[in-house]
């Protein structure tokens, strides 16, 4: 039976990076996952509302958790930033009953459902990077990645702060590596995989942000990666859409195709390439498709 | 007894060595030995020229921060055996903290750190003449700044700060933790001025939210959270001209409009002037369908709840 999740794709996957949402939806049945829509769910605030109005951030995120609770399903995310914001709010109210009471009072006044604190928030990567998940991938992906050399790129907010995230050692993460290997790919290891992509400040401090993404892009290139994979659509925008700008700023060439996590899985599981909407990428993925024989 | 190889960063420009290198020291030691104890034994027993900065040996002076297998720690509060178990390696590589220029071996030049610290005015600036007795503060008011008051200025948070690596002038996590500690102190009269001082180039809106500072702080200060709270203070004081603040404002506007991010608004609103230079990228984004063609907003179900929350939720920063 399919595992049901309250599906929270987040704004970027729903709009700017539609290819991520489309691929996740196409992939879900192959992974025995049923994605239940959350029609009431707002933006998580992406850390921006938290740094403008912290109490509003908390209340809006608890409202999202409450919708999932009413649906009777844990939340599944496909974005680092959404995962952190939802998990952080969840932790705050679960650890402080008085705070939950205050937040619930605001929710009830606004006509929203109060939250009981029973929901967990997990990312697709975490759901799959378990023994069960990995054996499912091995079983369902006989086509495999055909030795494609992939640089895992975690970014920040799925790892840190570990007190909120806690799935794996933030300094020596292995979930993406295990997944790449299970899918028949080869891991291109490099130091920059847990560094920042710079996206949160890319509009306000572009040069600083691009210098940050350079660390990971150049690291992946130097490790001989044919592609980079990321569990976060914001990292994807920084690494893919802004890649040429970073090349111009740093005077270097990366030519690095960047895959969303579900696209990498989809390639190995034989998902039709049109359904993964690679045409929406900035850096062409033709060589990747050729290697995996898609 | 246990035995460990320490691969220590060496740099001795005063002795005519212009290049840095790593030197291995093998040490037999008790199971319960800290990195600092091990380094001091190496200094005493094997190489007296090894330069290490330390003082209290008990995690309060903030002098002995260094990197162990790439992770910034206080040498005095890190057990050798635990570090080995964590990294799965028998050899521990010890390096000076990052984002600072080394002076000698594990000692770095902290001058920029202290300059940035001073720049945030890390002291109370009350209004009016001093009272006859001390200024009493209710416990609840001090609890607001309790975490930040625990900072020992060890610079572990600067060592792996990703914004600082890209912009050496970024004021940085510890300084802003202190900035918040005083901006949020009810005895301080400079809240708005501090909000202005901390905004602008290399200020709070430079923080890329990589969360390394929260992860590394040995005292649980959570400097990123302090920077976030300084953002909220800036909003409260209406100091919101910085592009970073405008970026956050665009999220609030999106929330009011429909509940989800209006990605067409966010770029232009954040940087209405400089955004022009990004026109080629915006055009390509449009071609790739990464920007919506129409300025439609995305409305969630039961949006009236969101509208009421935006109106009614009180901020307590």
The domain ranges of chain B are 2-108, 111-236, 243-312
pLDDT at A211: 98
In this predicted model, what pLDDT tens digit does every residue of B288-314 receive, in sequence order? 888 876 666 789 999 999 999 999 999
Whether A52 sits inside 8 A of B263 (CB atoms) is no
Q: What is the 3-state secondary structure (H, E, C) of B176-222?
A: HHHHHHHHCCCCCCCHHHHHHHHCCCCCHHHCCCCCHHHHHCCCCCC
The model's confidence at residue B203, banded by pLDDT at 50, 70 and 90, is very high
CA distance B92 to B168: 28
On the CB side of A222, how many CA atoms lie within 13 Å of its CA? 11
Residues A114 and A245 in one domain: no
CB B34 within 8 A of CB B55: no
Residues A239 and A284 in one domain: yes
pLDDT at A143: 66
CA distance A173 to A196: 15
CB A14 within 8 A of CB B291: no
Whether A245 sits inside 8 A of B229 (CB atoms) is no
Chain A residues with CB under 8 Å of B285 CB are 16, 241
The count of structural domains within chain A is: 2
Chain A residues with CB under 8 Å of B249 CB are 52
CB B75 within 8 A of CB B40: no
Residues A154 and A271 in one domain: yes
Any idea what the Cα angle at residue A236 is, between residues A243 and B281, rounded to 5°? 45
In this predicted model, what pLDDT tens digit does every residue of B33-83 receive, in sequence order? 999 999 999 999 999 999 999 999 999 999 999 999 999 999 999 999 999
Reduced to 3 states, what is the DSSP secondary structure of residue A76?
Answer: strand
Any idea what the Cα angle at residue A172 is, between residues A171 and A177, rounded to 5°? 135
Nearest to A245 among B263, B271, B281 (CB): B281
Task: Indicate the DSSP class of residue A224.
Answer: T
Give the nearest chain A residue to B87 (CA atoms). Answer: A172
Give the nearest chain A residue to B207 (CA atoms). Answer: A201
pLDDT over threshold 80, residue B277: no
pLDDT over threshold 90, residue B13: yes
Chain A residues with CB under 8 Å of B281 CB are 241-242, 245
Mean pLDDT of B86-102: 96
Cβ under 8 Å to B: A residues 140-159: 156-157, 159
CA distance A256 to A246: 12
Residues A117 and A186 in one domain: no
Classify domain B111-236 at the CATH topology level: Fumarate Reductase Iron-sulfur Protein; Chain B, domain 2 (1.10.1060)
Whether A281 sits inside 8 A of B243 (CB atoms) is no
Classify domain B2-108 at the CATH topology level: Ubiquitin-like (UB roll) (3.10.20)
pLDDT at B294: 65
ipTM at complex level: 0.96
Residue from A158, A146, A169 nearest A227 by CA:
A146
CA distance A10 to A8: 6
The model's confidence at residue B284, banded by pLDDT at 50, 70 and 90, is confident
Q: What CA dihedral angle connects B29, B35, B37 and B39, to 10 degrees?
A: 90
For residue A234, the enclosing domain spans 132-292
**Cis before B95? omega within 30:** no
Residues A117 and A154 in one domain: no
In this predicted model, what pLDDT tens digit does every residue of A87-139 receive, in sequence order? 999 999 999 999 999 999 999 999 999 999 999 999 999 999 999 999 999 99
Could you tell me the sign of the dihedral formed by the alpha carbons of B258, B259, B260, B266, in that order?
positive
- Does A208 touch chain B if contact means CB atoms closer than 8 Å? yes
The model's confidence at residue B268, banded by pLDDT at 50, 70 and 90, is confident
- Which of left, alpha, beta for A260 (phi over 0: left; psi -120 to 50: alpha)? beta
Q: Which of B86, B184, B248, B249 should one mutate to test binding to chain A, selecting the residue with the greatest count of A CBs within 10 A? A: B248
Residues A137 and A117 in one domain: no
pLDDT at B293: 67
pLDDT over threshold 90, residue B274: no
Residues A23 and A75 in one domain: yes
User: Within a 10 A sphere around the Cβ of A75, how many other Cβ atoms?
Assistant: 27
Of A89, A104, A123, the last residue of a domain is A123
Chain A residues with CB under 8 Å of B315 CB are 53-56
Q: Which stretches of chain A drop beneath a pLDDT of 50?
A: none
Residues A239 and A139 in one domain: yes
- CATH code at position A221: 3.40.50.11810
Residues A144 and A196 in one domain: yes
pLDDT at B298: 84
Residues A139 and A260 in one domain: yes
pTM for the predicted model, two decimal places: 0.97
Chain A residues with CB under 8 Å of B71 CB are 171
CB B34 within 8 A of CB B78: yes
Could you tell me the sign of the dihedral formed by the alpha carbons of B85, B102, B170, B262, in that order?
negative
Residues A66 and A203 in one domain: no
Q: Which residues does B143 contact at the CB level (< 8 Å), separation at least 6? A: none
pLDDT at B295: 60
Give the nearest chain A residue to B167 (CA atoms). Answer: A208
In this predicted model, what pLDDT tens digit does every residue of B108-152 receive, in sequence order? 999 999 999 999 999 999 998 989 998 999 999 999 999 999 999
CA distances from A227 to A18, A51, A79, A273, A292 (A): 20, 34, 19, 16, 12
Q: Which residues does A42 contact at the CB level (< 8 Å), separation at least 6? A: A60, A63, A64, B255, B259, B260, B300, B306
Whether A11 sits inside 8 A of B228 (CB atoms) is no
- CATH code at position A36: 1.20.1050.140
Owner of token pair 């898609």 = A294
pLDDT at A81: 98
Residues A177 and A229 in one domain: yes
């Amino acid at each position: 039976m399919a595992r049901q999740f309250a599906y929270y794709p987040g704004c970027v996957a729903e709009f700017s990076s539609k290819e991520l949402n489309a691929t996740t939806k196409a992939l879900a049945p192959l992974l025995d996952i049923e994605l239940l829509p959350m029609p009431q769910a707002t933006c998580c605030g992406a850390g921006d509302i938290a740094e403008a109005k912290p109490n509003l951030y908390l209340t809006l995120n608890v409202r999202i958790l409450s919708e999932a609770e009413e649906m009777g399903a844990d939340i599944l995310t496909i974005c680092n930033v959404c995962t952190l914001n939802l998990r952080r709010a969840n932790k705050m109210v679960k650890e402080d009953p008085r705070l939950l009471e205050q937040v619930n009072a605001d929710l009830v006044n606004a006509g929203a459902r109060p939250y009981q604190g029973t929901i967990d928030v997990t990312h697709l990567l975490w759901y799959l990077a378990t023994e069960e998940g990995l054996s499912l991938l091995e079983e369902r992906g006989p086509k495999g990645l055909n030795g494609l050399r992939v640089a895992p790129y975690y970014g920040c907010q799925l790892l840190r702060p570990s007190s909120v995230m806690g799935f794996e050692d933030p300094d020596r993460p292995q979930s993406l590596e295990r997944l790449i290997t299970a899918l028949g790919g080869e891991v291109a290891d490099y130091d920059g995989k847990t560094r920042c992509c710079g996206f949160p400040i890319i509009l306000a401090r572009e040069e600083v942000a691009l210098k940050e993404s350079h660390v990971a892009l150049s690291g992946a290139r130097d490790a001989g990666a044919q592609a980079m994979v990321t569990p976060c659509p914001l990292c994807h925008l920084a690494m893919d859409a802004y890649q040429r700008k970073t090349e111009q700023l740093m005077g270097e060439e990366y030519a690095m195709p960047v895959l969303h996590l579900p696209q990498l899985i989809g390639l190995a599981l034989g998902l039709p390439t049109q359904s993964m909407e690679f045409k929406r990428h900035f850096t062409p993925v033709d060589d990747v498709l050729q290697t995996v024989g898609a | 007894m246990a035995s460990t190889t320490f691969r220590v960063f060496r740099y001795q420009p005063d002795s005519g060595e212009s290049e840095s290198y790593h030197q291995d020291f093998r040490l037999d030691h008790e199971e319960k030995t800290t990195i600092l104890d091990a380094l001091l034994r190496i200094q005493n027993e094997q190489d007296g020229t090894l330069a290490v900065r330390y003082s209290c040996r008990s995690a309060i002076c903030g002098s002995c921060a260094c990197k162990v297998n790439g992770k910034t720690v206080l040498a005095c509060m890190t057990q050798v055996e635990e570090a080995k178990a964590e990294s799965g390696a028998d050899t521990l590589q010890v390096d000076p903290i990052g984002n600072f220029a080394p002076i000698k071996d594990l000692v770095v030049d902290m001058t920029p750190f202290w300059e940035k610290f001073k720049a945030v005015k890390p002291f109370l600036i009350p209004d009016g003449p001093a009272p006859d007795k001390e200024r009493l503060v209710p416990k609840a008011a001090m609890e607001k700044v309790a975490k930040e008051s625990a900072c020992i200025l060890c610079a572990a948070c600067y060592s792996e700060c990703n914004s600082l690596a890209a912009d050496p002038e970024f004021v940085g996590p510890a300084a802003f933790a202190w900035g918040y500690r005083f901006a949020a102190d009810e005895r301080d009269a400079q809240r708005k001025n501090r909000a202005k001082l901390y905004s602008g180039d290399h200020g709070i809106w430079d923080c890329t939210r990589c969360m390394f500072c929260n992860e590394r702080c040995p005292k649980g200060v959570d400097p990123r959270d302090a920077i976030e709270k300084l953002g909220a203070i800036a909003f409260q004081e209406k100091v919101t001209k910085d592009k970073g603040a405008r970026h956050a404002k665009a999220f609030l506007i999106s929330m009011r409009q429909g509940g989800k991010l209006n990605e067409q608004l966010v770029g232009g609103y954040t940087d209405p002037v400089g955004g022009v230079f990004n026109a080629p990228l915006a055009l390509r984004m449009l071609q790739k369908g990464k920007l919506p063609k129409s300025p439609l907003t995305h409305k969630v179900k039961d949006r009236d709840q969101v509208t009421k929350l935006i109106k009614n939720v009180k901020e307590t920063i």
